[in-house]
Structure 1
């Protein structure tokens, strides 16, 4: 589990085949990965990957065919910059929102413009992703926890403050660039529960149950 608060950037140093149709990434972080060991989870542009080797600032992680199909890692090249966040510890503060590290799909940067000290960015997304977005809700873009300014069936808008632009890849993303999208898991759980209720006339799950148990 992650928070969407990026710890720092890293650089893809090398890529190689891993098993059948998989890839192994070698990534050098801009910061020392203190206490990181083999088996630890690290979000790379929001995708939860497992370190199979770790030493100093460098770690290696395998990417499965399923993850390759939902992310930009299939077309990634050495030298690309990526956002990095290590897994949330029980004692950590939750400054962003709960991010699973399971990418739902990809979006495209459609527009960016300056407004005051912020950058206003619009991302295009398919309806299968936008259905889980609401105004002032949360979304993870390349692993960055962001608040949705506005949204419709095919796009959503966010504001990027200078701190986020400086410390993450979103600061140098261009129009047309693809990004990883993870929608807020609460919306997906609510839809799942409501769908199950319709399928079962004997279900005790209703809107009152969801509200009472903190889902909505």
Structure 2
């Protein structure tokens, strides 16, 4: 589990695509530089890479780690668009007893959104992000959402978009500070919203059965 509080910006040092017999890319292996998140990491640990929970498979001891990205992850996230030199938000899994600064983040991306607009303010930026209308029903004003691994508070909700405000710290220490309109971002909605919907649907079905 994560909290959406980014610990450092990492750099993709290598992308090794896996292909099938027809040469179609099916999976990938990433090597990412992140001196802080690798300082106490071990093979098998989880690290969120721009909001995607990945398992550490190799630690050369030079401040980098390797992780495999499966076909399902490539389909559902924007990690497949990463290339050498790409910047990613990194967060280690929450340690028991650690500070809980964001919200419940699983690292299970629900969909990919697109930055629609960006409006600079005196010390912050207002950003509008488009998303699938089917996903928008889980987004609530003043609720939480994870954007490329960053826990943010929703300021506005539409049928197929939502707004967030990026404070100076977020602009400085995450990749969101450099996103331009058209950029694609990984989205994870609040898991509590999904469980609530499921429980209500189940309760409704039970009531109908009676």
With the length of structure 1 as denominator, give the TM-score of the two structures: 0.90
Determine the structure 1 residue equivalent to 2:29.
24
Determine the structure 1 residue equivalent to 2:173.
167
Distance between the aligned counterparts of 1:19 and 1:106, measured in 2? 23
Distance between the aligned counterparts of 1:14 and 1:64, measured in 2? 16
Shift of 1:17: 2.9
Shift of 1:72: 1.3
Query: Is 1:44 matched with 2:17?
Result: no
Q: How many residues align?
A: 203
Shift of 1:153: 1.0
Determine the structure 2 residue equivalent to 1:121.
127
8 Å CA contact retained: 1:32, 1:56: no
Determine the structure 2 residue equivalent to 1:98.
104
Determine the structure 2 residue equivalent to 1:82.
88
Unaligned runs of 5+ in 2: 21-25
Distance between the aligned counterparts of 1:202 and 1:125, measured in 2? 33
Query: Is 1:152 matched with 2:141?
Result: no
Distance between the aligned counterparts of 2:137 and 2:102, measured in 1? 21
- CA spacing shift, 1:202–1:154, aligned 2, 3 Å: closer
Determine the structure 1 residue equivalent to 2:77.
71
**What is the alpha-carbon root mean square deviation over aligned residues?**
1.5
With the length of structure 2 as denominator, give the TM-score of the two structures: 0.93
Distance between the aligned counterparts of 1:56 and 1:36, measured in 2? 12
Distance between the aligned counterparts of 1:145 and 1:137, measured in 2? 10
Shift of 1:56: 3.7
Distance between the aligned counterparts of 1:26 and 1:122, measured in 2? 31
Distance between the aligned counterparts of 1:178 and 1:10, measured in 2? 18
8 Å CA contact retained: 2:146, 2:189: yes
Query: Is 1:12 matched with 2:12?
Result: yes
Runs of 4+ in 1 over 6 A off after TM superposition: none
Distance between the aligned counterparts of 1:120 and 1:66, measured in 2? 32
